[in-house]
Amino acid sequence: MTNRRSTFDTRNWQDWRWQMQNRINDAEALHDWIEPTEDELAAIEATEDVFRWNVTPYYAALMDPHDPTCPIRRQVVPTMDELEPDLTGTKDPLEEVAHSPVKNLVHNYEDRVAFCVTAECAIYCRYCLRKRMVGDADFFLRKDEFEEAFDYLKEHDEIRDVLLTGGDPLTFNERRLEWLLGRLRAIDHVEIIRFGTRMPVKLPYRITPELCELLAAHHPIWLNTHFNHPKELTDDAAAAINRLKEAGVPVGNQTVLLRGINDDAQTMKRLCEGLVAMRARPYYLYQAQVIGGTAHMRAPIERGMAIMRALQGRTTGFAIPKYVLDTPFGKVPLNRSYVRGRAGEHVVMESYDGQLWAEPNPLPDALSNGKALDYRLPAVEIPAEAATISPETGRFVEGAAAT
């Protein structure tokens, strides 16, 4: 195996455009970075028409070349587990399309929207919430489609908060970002612009002084990024966070709970404390979404609740994120104020406005006893006379207010 990084000069390595142009996306290139297993090589071919894959050289350099269980490698290199039977084949678990009055603009909460400004990403995470659109040309926006989104925002003065997401909005160059931010800032009632980006994790060289200067010119700007494992907390990532902070951009972090990657209290504690040391606030710990092909990466909700209990009182308070599940009814905090209990292979919970939601979340056999889980939810029943099944997701949805 060749160490490709040793063949690049520093100027190329730290050029974010060069990193994007030299992403690894075939088996031959992957051999330059790791010793792929037969399973990984088979999966690269078998998943070609299911979900693309791309890895920046920077992120590839973080992978353990010899260990297929490496937490970095498992996030981005396909495996045959993705083709195993799953309890759902849904591509849109949050029903974002149904909440989109115009293309790629998700209006789920009254006062804020998620604006998917691009379908491009620097890397394609195997558990991605938006597998349906990432890398798909149909989800890129034409100029007239951007105008439709701007018109919608202008017409709805209840919208005060716009989250720019995708894909990854920081795949845009500065010229395009300046145009986008300028159009949003021209809308009087838009108070806050947020970025959802994984660039500080997967390509920290994108956080250039020029980008930070641009963001500072359009304050208030907030940014949430997405570190999942302590191995991602590199010096380059810390430098990127520091540049954002010096530009006055508050930085939060949204972690996804991933089975075998970060689903233990020790790993999560190291991650959160490392983030705080970098001045990035742990914001959310997300329960992984039920998207087809991700069963091997989803952990029991009880596991996440046990981790939150283990963190409480054992680290700095603001180093503890809020554990949540995103649903079509909004985010639900996964604590006993909102979670009613387990009904077989579902966990029943209540949304902020009283809607009931039952998330498919089977207990793997190895985790089905109390000692292994460290936390047990009480058994509950789904009211038979009220239960309905969403035909798209296969999930139980109770439309009436909870009693």
Query: What are the two backbone dihedrals, phi and then psi, of residue 48, each rounded to the nearest 5 degrees?
Result: -55, -40
Q: How far apart are CA 220 and CA 266, in angstroms?
A: 35
Give the tokens for residue 202: 């997967």
Angle among Cα 76, 123, 56 to the nearest 5 degrees reads 95
Q: Residue 2's pLDDT is what?
A: 47
Q: Residue 128's pLDDT is what?
A: 87
Enter the DSSP assignment of 141.
Answer: P
Q: How far apart are CA 341 and CA 351, in angstroms?
A: 14
Give the tokens for residue 6: 């040793």
Whether residue 201 contacts residue 244, with contact meaning beta carbons closer than 8 Å, is answered with no
Give the tokens for residue 355: 């809607």
| Domains, in order of start, for the chain | 4-83 (no CATH), 105-327 (3.20.20.70), 328-403 (no CATH)
pLDDT in tens, 170-229: 999 999 999 999 999 999 999 999 999 999 999 999 999 999 999 999 999 999 999 999
Beta strands at 330-333 and 339-343: parallel, antiparallel or unpaired: unpaired
Q: Can you tell me which residue has the tokens 């009182």?
A: 313
Give the CA diameter of the chain.
Answer: 67
Enter the DSSP assignment of 320.
Answer: S
pLDDT in tens, 349-365: 999 888 888 898 988 76
Query: What are the two backbone dihedrals, phi and then psi, of residue 374, each rounded to the nearest 5 degrees?
Result: 70, 0
Average confidence (pLDDT) per 10 residues, the chain, 403 residues: 54 93 95 97 91 94 98 97 79 74 93 95 90 77 96 98 96 98 98 98 98 98 98 98 98 97 97 98 96 91 96 97 94 96 91 88 69 77 59 53 39
Residue 200: count of CB within 10 angstroms of its CB: 29
Q: Is 95 helix (H, G, I), strand (E, B) or coil?
A: coil
Beta strands at 161-165 and 192-196: parallel, antiparallel or unpaired: parallel
Angle among Cα 87, 295, 335 to the nearest 5 degrees reads 95
Q: Residue 85's pLDDT is what?
A: 81
Residue 97: count of CB within 10 angstroms of its CB: 14
CA 22 vs CA 13, 19, 34: distances in Å = 10, 5, 16
- Provide the whole-model pTM: 0.92
